[in-house]
Each structure stands twice: as C-alpha cells, then as structure tokens.
Amino acid sequence: MVTLSLVHYIFIIMTIIILGFLILKKEIVIPCVIGILLIAFAYTGDVISSIQALNNAVIVSNGELFSIMLVIALVTAMSRAMHKAGIDEIMIRPVRRIIRKPVGAFWGIGICMLIISWLIWPSPAVVLIGALLLPVAGRVGLPAIWAAVAMNIFGHGMGLSSDFFIQGAPAITAASADISVTSVMSASVPLWAVMSVTVAVVSFVMMKRDMKNNRAAETKEITADYAAEEVRRPGLAKVLAVIVTLSFVVMIVAMVVLHIQGGDATAFVAGSALLLTCVITVADSGLGAALGDTVDYLKEGFIFSVRIFAPVLVIAGFFFLGSEQYAVSVFGEGAPAILNDISYFISEHVPVNSVFCVIIEIVVGIITGLDGSGFSGLPLVGSIAGTFAATTGLNTASLAALGQITTVWVGGGTIIPWGVVPVAAICGISPSELARKNMIPVISGIIVTGIVAMFLI
C-alpha cells in the first residue's frame, strides 16, 4: 500500500498552482523555484541543503536538455549560413509551387512531420522539417505558433504515441502488461485514430478562427529572415542547395537503413548540421573569411538556443523531481518516486470498474507525463492495465494502449512546456505559448478517446 508524504502533497499543490499560472498566461519560473525549495526542505529538513537543491536541480535538467540545446544551436547556425548564401531562397522555390496558402503549409508540415517521426523519431524530424519547410510556411503566411502546433501534434503526438515502425513505445507497454507487442499495436489503432483526428481537427479550427480574427500576436511571420530577397550568387546557391538537400535525404536514408534512432539520430543530425555550416561558409565566403564567419554563426546559434532554454532549465528542474531517476541525482539514494507513488495511490483508492479503469489509466498517463518524458510512464500504465484486466476481465491490450497514448501525448512533448522546447526553439516562439495552444486540442482528444475506450475495453 502506497502512502503519500508531505513531499508528495507539496508536489501536487505546486503543480496545480503552476498549471494555473500557465492557463492565466503567466511565466512560471518563480513558482517552480518555490516548489523546488519546498520539496527540498520537506525532504531534507535543512535550509542550506534546500538552497543547494535549487542549483542541483537546474544542473540535472541541464544535463538532460543540453543535447537538445546543442542541436538547436547548431541547426540555427546552419540556417544562418544557408540564408547568407541564399540557399534557403533556392530550396523553397519548388515547394512554394505546391504549398501556396497557410492551410496547405499547416497540413504539409504536419504530414511530413508524422512520416519522418515514424521513421526516425520526432527530435531529429523537428530539425529537418524546420530547415526545409518553415521558410515556406513563413512565406505563405502561416503564423509561427501554428507551424509549431502542426509539428507538435503530428510528430510528438501522433507519431510518437503510435510508434508503428520503431515500436519502442508499444514494446515497453506490452512488456509491463505481460501481453504481446502486436496486441498492443492492434488495440491502439482505433484509439490512436480517434485521438489524432480529434486533436488535428480542433487545432485546425482554432487556427482558422485565430487567423480570421487577425490577432497580431498570432499572425506575425515565423522570422524576418524568411523575407524574399535577391540571391547574390545564384549559381553557387543552386549548387549548395542541391548539396544540402541531398545531405538531408542521405541522412534520412542512413537513419532508416542503419536503424539510427532517438538520441543517436539527433546527434547524427546535429553533427551533420555543423559540418554543413562549415562547408557552406567556406564555399560562400572563402576560407579566409569563413574562419571568422563560422564563429559568428555559432555564436548566433548558441545565443538563440540559450535564450529559449534559460527559463526551461528551472521549470524542468521542478518537474524532473517527480521522477525517481532525477530525484536521486538531486537528493541522493532513497529519494521518493513522487509521480509513480501518486499514480499508484490513485489506482489503489478508486473503485475498479470499466469507467473508473479508463479514468485511472488516463489520469495516471497524465501524471506520469508531467516529467516531460513520453516513455517513463509506460511501464506504470502497462502494469496497471494488466492488474485491472486480471481483476475485472477487461481488455488488457485496449486499456494498455489507452494508457500509452495518453502518456505519450502529454509527456512526449505537446502540453508540457519543458517538453515542447525543441519545436518552440526552431519556430522562435515561447514554449509556454505553444503549450497553451496545444492544451485545448489535446485535452479534447483525451476526453473523446476516453469515451471511445469505454466501448472497446
């Protein structure tokens, strides 16, 4: 029997307060700092240790997020070099003949993001889509926020929650529920389809409404760099555009054929971006000038990345404390597994029937997704599904699939500000703003999917 301590209740209360601030469109760094201090003091009973925990929590979150910060910085540097050489202008001309309006850009970005996310996961997909399609979206008038929403819901939502090709998510869920991967994947298809369609439709309707109302904040261009301008050396720009395009194609093929996935795929893309930055700059500026220009591009990239990530490191520091793995890094051995404990506590104190089983799976998926990791909660929702099915005779696979979909949609990077940072950074918008835009569509999808699940389990 799991019991909750003062640490757990502080985490619950501060999470509610932080989410309230988000809904009110307020920044949440100060509440997160207070939350870390209170949790640390409740656990250690020592003021000095609690203040030190602030530093340690940020260091831990930095260790987790630095790889993302780095790839954003390197890709931004590459985009600066591409823009200076006129490569982006050359590359987007053919695409502009296909994508002519914001609606086409929204669905085009989304579908491409979904396909690439299925093949190589969302993180590297964000980089590739950002480099290739965001300039087009900016030209045809798609607001930055809605380009980001499309990338989020199709990639980190639809792509990661299904994971039909790599099958990492269903494998973890199936193992913890003690059923086959095939059964989880089969059971997830109707639920995934309902969730995906609902979220996409609600997001699209919200986008059309906002653009119709001509909200200034929503209709700003993705970036001023995407304004059309004359290419200085069109011949060289065309050659470099072919090289960059072929490089992207080779990267995708290599990742699929060689099974380079997840963090390895992100590292491959980041390294390639740095290499391309050097090649483009030398070709455009000459070796002498390139020695200095490359440094300038890297500085711009890192300044941009740090500006986006600075508040996120503190915010993530609080929510990472909910995960035992990160809590141990801050407090040492014996640190509580706050999110898991809360989830088990709920499952033990709620009546067990089909309706409550669905609700519990959804609630547990949401709670375990708060740490911003789409996969950390999968063992828990899988095991809970197996337990409920054994005691009630419900469909284990459908229940586990529901838990998987909810956990990944929440924690994989759609409505958690510290989870949407890669997309927000690429699009040049606030992570909190993006999370707020995603919240209504994703919550709507979870509710509709939960209702459908009651008829399937």
> Tell me, what amino acid is at 378?
L
Of 300, 114, 116, the C-alpha closest to 223 is 300
Report residue 194 as tokens.
């309902």
Place of tokens 């119709």: 212
Two tokens, residue 59 = 């260091």
- Here the tokens at position 299 are 């500085």
Q: Residues with Cβ < 8 Å from 60, sequence gap 6 or more?
A: 317, 320, 326, 329, 330
pLDDT, position 283: 94
Task: Give the CA dihedral 286, 288, 292, 293, nearest 10 degrees.
Answer: -10
In the numeric block, which tokens belong to residue 105?
A: 């850009």
Tokens representing residue 204 in the block: 């699209």
Is residue 163 helix, strand or coil?
coil
Contact 196, 157 (CB under 8 A): yes
Cα separation, 166 vs 260, in Å, equals 10
444 close to 199: Cβ distance less than 8 angstroms: yes
Residue type, 290: A
* H or E element that contains 396: helix 396-411
Any idea what the Cα angle at residue 138 is, between residues 137 and 140, rounded to 5°? 65
Question: Are 156 and 416 within 8 A, CB to CB?
Answer: no
Place of tokens 């054929």: 257
Q: Could you tell me which of 252, 250, 297 has the C-alpha nearest to residue 85?
A: 297
Closest to 432 in 3D by CA, of 14, 33, 73, 21: 21
Instruction: Look at residue 126 in the predicted model and tell me its pLDDT.
Output: 85
Contact 58, 318 (CB under 8 A): no
- The pTM for the full model equals 0.74
Residue type, 101: K
Q: Is 25 helix (H, G, I), strand (E, B) or coil?
A: coil
Amino acid identity, position 242: V
Q: Two tokens at 182?
A: 């095939």
- Positive or negative, the CA dihedral 409, 414, 415, 418 is positive
Q: Considering only CA atoms, which of 431, 317, 422, 397 is closest in space to residue 67?
A: 422
Q: Is 241 helix (H, G, I), strand (E, B) or coil?
A: helix
Q: Locate 214 and state its tokens.
A: 């001509």
Nearest to residue 385, comparing CAs of 153, 188, 168? Answer: 188
Do 144 and 221 touch, CB atoms closer than 8 A?
A: yes
Per-residue pLDDT of the chain in tens (457 residues, 90 and over written 9)? 778 899 999 999 998 898 788 778 788 889 999 999 999 999 999 999 999 999 999 998 888 778 878 887 888 888 889 888 888 778 767 776 778 889 999 999 999 899 888 876 787 788 778 877 888 888 788 999 999 999 999 999 999 898 887 777 888 888 888 899 889 999 999 999 999 999 999 999 999 999 888 654 444 455 544 444 567 788 888 899 899 889 888 888 888 888 886 678 778 888 998 999 999 999 998 999 999 999 999 999 899 888 877 887 888 888 888 888 889 999 988 898 888 888 788 877 777 788 888 998 999 888 878 766 667 678 888 888 887 887 778 899 999 999 999 999 998 879 887 778 889 888 888 888 898 899 999 999 999 999 999 998 8
What pLDDT score was predicted for residue 217?
Answer: 46
Which residues lie closer than 8 Å to 78 by C-beta, 6 or more apart?
Answer: 131, 273, 274, 276, 277, 280, 297, 301
